[in-house]
Amino acid sequence: MGHLLVIESWVGSMSRLLPRAIREGGHTFTFLTRDLHHYLRQAPEGTAHPLLGARNVITADTNDTETLLPRVERLHEVLGFDGVLTSCDYYLPAAARVAARLGLPGPPPAAVEDACRKDATRRVLAAAGLPQPRHAVHRDRPDLVRAARDIGYPLVVKPVDLCAGMYVRRVDDEEQLVAAVSAMDDFPVNARGQRRAPVVLLEALLDGPEVSVETVSHAGDVHVVGVTDKSVGAAPAFVETGHMFPAALTPADTEAVRHTAVAALRALGLADGVVAHTEIKLTSDGPRVVEVNPRPAGNRITELVRHVTGVDLAAAQVDLALGRAPDLGTVDTGLRSAAVGFLLPEATGTLRALDAGGLADDTGVLEFTLAEPGRAVRAADSNNDYLGHVMAGDTEGPGARHRVEELLAGLRAGLVVR
């Protein structure tokens, strides 16, 4: 039995999947956070958040890594940790540095830091000769305007250090560029109180569908678990509206994106101790890396993988943190595909009605969640604005996405925002 140190977490699905994986593996954990109320506020009324089922819950300034390191060393002397992990992107570099300081398993801190910064990822992949979109990184507006003209519109504007699609926008001209950059300037601190890097990444808009490659790296071997597809909406933002696993690709395209993801992970130095979620565009000129995330996929993708293959990526993350080889053997679950779709608000106001209909009685539905009436909503511009999701499977083939789209259409018919 191992004792894990969990440094912060997302408050979505991984905040429940990770404690479950730790518990089912026969392990315990200590939870370290700077703001306990952040998690208390997210628990359903009358229930305790799974993260608060830790052996110890300790408060520390997790945003100041230099003071956190000696604090954790003292805790380690008393409590004895066997591994360190987090599910939250904003704390992946800190978790990697803590593991290294304590001499515990984990990916190289510098590699994690590069993967968590979109501009650094571009620099590393360029040095490795991997094909990428034309891009530029600048801080000052005149430099951004000149770079945009050089690359050519349309462009994608991105913050280098935010998640969930926040402030990622398509821009078609200089006016839209300036507006997108101004919006970023008005958000100088992220949701966890960390000051953002004041630079902007510009990228040429890529054509073609987007997929993600789910991998597990251990002892120098990057194991590809599979490829997931993605749909997006809410233009000019890029909000994820759904996923299906496995992606319905040709064998040649599947091999191409698998090869690209493995090459990107090796270039970044992430060939050991990490579950990764690498997003790739299948363009007319071949695969292009969108970003590399050195943690399990969000948006219920890990559950799609588990429903189809039996592989538990949350459990794999726990095993890697303990320095153990994860169980990546697949089983016949009876499903050939699984998909999830997200309900996006298209207007700003108050949610007045959202009828689940017969979802609870539909044998093809694997899970669903819906927001309660009375919630204030806004037109979606990031993955943080969902009103719920529905997941379904297909026992015959790649029909799960179509089924989910049918179910979402029914939910939208009963959605009232005023």
- Ranges of each domain in the chain: 3-104, 108-120+208-333, 134-204, 335-418
pTM summary value:
0.95
pLDDT in tens, 218-242: 999 999 999 999 999 999 999 999 9
Name the pLDDT band for 20 (thresholds 50, 70, 90).
very high
Q: Is the pLDDT assigned to residue 74 strictly greater than 70? A: yes
- Mean pLDDT over all residues of the chain? 95
Residue 188 CB coordination number (10 Å): 10
Q: How far is CA 314 from CA 16, 170, 246, 275, 333, in A?
A: 10, 33, 18, 9, 18
Name the pLDDT band for 182 (thresholds 50, 70, 90).
very high
d(CA 57, CA 35): 11
- Nearest partner of 264 among 246, 248, 288, judged by Cα: 288
> Encoding tokens for residue 51?
């993260």
CATH numeric code, 3-104: 3.40.50.20
> Residue 45: its pLDDT value, please?
59
Q: What would the mean pLDDT of 60-87 be, rounded to a whole number?
A: 97
CATH classification of 108-120+208-333, choosing from 3.30.470.20, 3.40.50.2000, 3.30.1050.10, 1.10.40.30?
3.30.470.20
d(CA 408, CA 402): 10
For the ranges 34-38, 184-188, 191-195, 251-255, the lowest mean pLDDT is seen at 34-38
Share above pLDDT 90 across residues of the chain, in percent, rounded to a whole number: 84
Name the pLDDT band for 141 (thresholds 50, 70, 90).
very high
Name the pLDDT band for 137 (thresholds 50, 70, 90).
very high
Evaluate whether the domain defined by 134-204 bears CATH number 3.30.1490.20: yes
> Residue 413: its pLDDT value, please?
82
d(CA 361, CA 298): 26
> Residue 262: its pLDDT value, please?
98
- The fold of 335-418 is Aldehyde Oxidoreductase; domain 3 (3.90.1170)
- Nearest partner of 26 among 319, 372, 262, judged by Cα: 319
> Residue 43: its pLDDT value, please?
64
Q: Is the pLDDT assigned to residue 258 strictly greater than 70? A: yes
Q: What would the mean pLDDT of 70-74 be, rounded to a whole number?
A: 98
Name the pLDDT band for 353 (thresholds 50, 70, 90).
confident
